[in-house]
Amino acid sequence: MFDNFKKDWEALKASDPGHRFQDRYRRRREKSLGTSNLWRFVMITLGFLIIGVGVIFLFIPGSGWVIIVVGTGIIAGESLIVAKILDIGELIIRKLIGKRG
């Protein structure tokens, strides 16, 4: 399980900014040919549950935004629309950080 996570993380880092999540979505689609819609539903539900935990952590000391991004990333593996939104968001954040740094 952790080997798969590590491989997925390395592939995500290797992708070009602005295409990382769309590339991940496509890799998951190719890898999961024949996987049931039930599994996709479970993964999307898990993503929303993780986002919910992240929202709770926004009100207490902790890393709520990181948890929300992880949940959104899980959903992006199952939804091309969310993947595109995350890619656009990454580019915007990179521009903002670039202007500050």
Residues 4-52: tens digit of each pLDDT: 778 877 888 888 888 988 998 888 888 766 567 888 899 899 999 999 9
Contact call for residues 28 and 78 (beta carbons, < 8 A): yes
Q: Which pTM value belongs to this model?
A: 0.76
> Residue with structure tokens 């915007």?
92
